[in-house]
Chain A
Amino acid sequence: MQSKRCTLVVAMIAFIFFSFTSILVFAQDAPKSIKIGASISLTGRFAAGGIDVADGYKLAVKHINDNGGILVKQFNKKIPVELVIYDDESDPSKTVTRLEKLNAEKVVAYLGEFASDMNIAGLGIAEKNKVPWVGVTIAVENVFNQGFKYVFGPNMFSFMEVAAFLDALDAIPKAQRPTKIANFELQVDWGKECTKYLQKYAKERGYTIALERKFAPDTKDFSSMILAAKSAGCDAVFAVPTPPQSMALIKQMKELDYAPKATCFVRGPDLSNFWQVMGKDANYIMTSGEWTPDMPYPGNKKLVADYRAQYPNKLMGMPVGNGYSAFQVLADAISRADKLDRESIRQALTTTNIVTVKGKVTFDKRGVGNVPHVLAQWQNGKLVIIVSPDYKPAPVLVATPWSKRK
């Protein structure tokens, strides 16, 4: 009996001792860094956008680490971020192997990339590996209708781009407001989705889609579409062309003397070098304004100042701000997660509610971002915001005929 009691006491002491030491070990077991991974096109055909996204990520990491890192609940201490970026060479097959490598390196989350081909390959891997994936420029809503749990898109989607365009038309005084829209549909999933929403929203808001024409991603001659829109009397044009196509469209519209009151090309004119390439012909063109250096949201001034100090000769493109904002979203989720593991971070991402450098970001149940619907317009060499739910935008300028432009 005595020996039994002795054994029990020894066992109790041992239990308490091991519990205590394991708590100590646990408390000291905070990792040296929070490892986050991204596979980005640093070379190849999408390198320009990829490098911008990577620059945005790197600046966000620098700003976070300058403050000691992210405060992690589990360890109640700040832990610096370690960002691992691998080049996928603009090749989706390599995106898959790079993300598998990052998975093997035990990253807690993936960050998205600039181009759709790579993003699409990547988000499947994220879902398979159960690693949270925070995108940057994935505007196709259909991606988020697949029941994915680990994929988040804190950016504007097709329905937001269309709504912002119609908001811009609404902002024009009634006497000058366009009423007949020409929809030039790019034959990709994004273009099709925009058409669906344009048809729906235009009807609800009293606009007529007087012309619909489809074009392929490698189309270079748009003259038949432009002439059809002109003869149909369309006074507004909406499209999501590729960047080179947006330039070709504007040149051909000028050659064919077609100057609708409002022209919105969601992609292309949003690039920082658009004015340098197009000159005054870029005037009045509306485009995505998801992020601009002038936005008044907290942290944006610092981002712009630091970027310009670091890269004095580089133009600051939209993907820089989008990349920075995506990192802010992920860092916020890590700081709110109960544990520093993938599942806790995923759960924290679902309840995101943060104001980033491009405005407030939340997610719906599918992971689709609720972000401000913003539209910008080129006005005398400057990309100014003409639609914003958060602050007073500049007035929308109605395009004048080509012959009257100086």
Chain B
Amino acid sequence: MAERKKGFVVAAVVVIALALVPLVVAREYVFSILCMIFLYVTLSQSWNILGGYTGQINVGQAAFFGIGALAARLLWVAGVPFYLSILAGGLSSVILAIIIGLPALKLRGHYFAIGTLAVASIAQITVGNILPGISFLPAQHMATYSLIPRYYVFLIIMVTALAAVYITVNSRIGLGMEATRDDEEAAQMVGVNTFKYKMIAFLISSFFAGLAGGGFAYFNASYYWYLPFTLMWCFEPILIVFIGGVGSFIGPIIGSVCYVLLKELFALTLGEANLLIFGIVFILTILFFPKGIIGLPAKLRQLFRRRGNVVGR
């Protein structure tokens, strides 16, 4: 209990510190990097609640992210206040999740993954065909564009997502999700309604993916309509969760910070070799630290203990 209290205090201090950043930092570059970190934390945590806690591998996150971006941008540009537009983005993503989830969550294992990937591909092609052009911000929005409100929007979305995931996974629902992940058939045998828990996780996941999409639409000055639907948005959250630690609350946060900052650092210092080196780091992480960065201290402790035993002999 004391540990949990300590955790809350640390989280509150971090959030307050992040909220104060615009008062002490004036560089837009810093905001743009922090916005990306907040975006990826939201997106990866939204993937984690379904993939990490419930064991349902969603490879179609781009569809939910994209539909959120599309709805939010259309509404915002049409004159709806941005906060309502972003909320509408999250809700439109939930509606898509209900339509997709009812049949798709009856599929298991690889079939669910393939089904969600198909949804993402269909969404990308459809949007690309219907809206082949570019979404520009109208002149009045462009004239008043500032990164600071965008920073706060991403921060609020991220904090809300983290709070929602934390409360959910530490509740009775969370137990149901973990039971579904660990052994779906056994859970059903003891009376757990696994479909219900999968659906709840899917809806929460989609809502925050949609909100993140809405943030993307509010953040970017100009982009091709299909861009938030590209498959990159499917794979990056998975990559981040595996780097940080799948099925843990802190994992996606650490993964997002490392992913964005390391990639930035590598790209700025290593030039064309950056992707190769990042790829090697990723492969090594998966090979030697399957529990991600979050599992690193335990792995190292285990390693040192084993070495100590050898010396002792």
Q: Which residues of A contact B (CB under 8 A)?
A: 42-44, 47, 86-89, 91-94, 96-98, 100-101, 103-104, 116-117, 120-121, 123-125, 127-129, 140, 142-143, 146-147, 187-189, 191-192, 216-218
Contacts and interface: CB of A to CB of B under 8 A. Distances in A.
Given A103-B29, A142-B133, A189-B132, A124 B222 contact: yes
A142 B224 CA distance: 13
Contact of B227 (A89, A117, A125): A117
Given A127-B221, A143-B134, A43 B29 contact: no
B139 A147 contact: yes
B37 to A, nearest CB: 11
Contacts of A44: 275
B133 A189 contact: yes
A93 B36 contact: yes
A39 B194 CA distance: 48
Given A97-B32, A117-B223, A120-B223, 10 more contacts: A87-B271, A97-B36, A117-B224, A123-B222, A124-B223, A128-B145, A128-B221, A143-B134, A189-B133, A191-B132
Contacts of B271: 42, 87
Interface string B70-84: 000000000000000
A216 B136 CA distance: 22
A97 B264 contact: yes
B125 interface: yes
Interface of B: 27-29, 31-33, 36, 125, 128-129, 132-134, 136-137, 139, 142, 145, 219-224, 227, 232, 263-264, 267-268, 271-272, 274-275
Contacts of B36: 93, 97
A146 B137 CA distance: 9
A92 B223 contact: yes
A335 to B, nearest CB: 29
A188 B29 contact: no
Contacts, number: 96
A217 B126 CA distance: 12
Contact of B139 (A43, A87, A117, A146): A146
A113 to B, nearest CB: 14
Contacts of B267: 86-89, 94, 98
A93 B232 CA distance: 11
A98 B235 CA distance: 22
Given A121-B222, A127-B221, A86 B268 contact: yes
A217 B29 contact: no
A123 B27 CA distance: 19
A128 B267 CA distance: 24
Contacts of A128: 142, 145, 221
Nearest 3 Cβ contacts at the A-B interface: A124-B221, A124-B222, A104-B29
A89 to B, nearest CB: 6
Contacts of B28: 100, 103-104, 129
Given A120-B134, A127-B221, A43 B129 contact: no
A216 B220 CA distance: 25
20 contacts: A86-B267, A86-B268, A87-B272, A91-B232, A94-B267, A96-B32, A97-B32, A97-B33, A97-B264, A100-B28, A100-B31, A101-B268, A104-B28, A120-B222, A142-B134, A146-B139, A188-B132, A188-B133, A189-B134, A216-B129
A147 to B, nearest CB: 5
B223 A187 contact: no
B104 to A, nearest CB: 24
A27 to B, nearest CB: 30
Nearest to B130: A187
Given A120-B134, A189-B134, A216-B129, A43 B274 contact: yes
Nearest to B26: A104
Contacts of B125: 216, 218
Contacts of A101: 29, 268
Contacts of B133: 142, 188-189, 192
A217 B128 contact: yes
Contacts of A188: 128, 132-133
Q: Among A86, A88, A93, A128, which residue has the most Cβ atoms of chain B within 10 A?
A: A93
B262 to A, nearest CB: 13
Contacts of A192: 132-133
B224 A116 contact: yes
A97 B40 CA distance: 14
A192 B134 CA distance: 12
A128 B268 CA distance: 23
Contacts of B274: 43, 87, 89
B125 to A, nearest CB: 7
B32 A187 contact: no
Nearest to A121: B223
A43 B227 contact: no
B132 A187 contact: yes
B142 A127 contact: yes
A247 B88 CA distance: 43
A62 B268 CA distance: 22
Contacts of A123: 222
Contacts of A89: 263, 267, 274-275
A373 B280 CA distance: 47
B275 A187 contact: no
Nearest to A129: B28
Contact of B220 (A121, A129, A189): A121
A97 B29 contact: yes
A124 B29 contact: no
A101 B36 CA distance: 13
B128 A187 contact: yes
A147 B227 CA distance: 23
A121 B32 CA distance: 13
A207 B267 CA distance: 51
Given A43-B272, A97-B33, A125 B221 contact: yes
A260 B133 CA distance: 30
A5 B223 CA distance: 66
A123 to B, nearest CB: 6
Nearest to B266: A87
Q: Among B267, B268, B272, B274, which residue has the most Cβ atoms of chain A within 10 A?
A: B267
Contacts of B275: 43-44, 89
Contacts of B263: 89, 94
A127 B220 CA distance: 12
A88 B271 CA distance: 10
A115 to B, nearest CB: 11
B227 A124 contact: no
B176 to A, nearest CB: 35
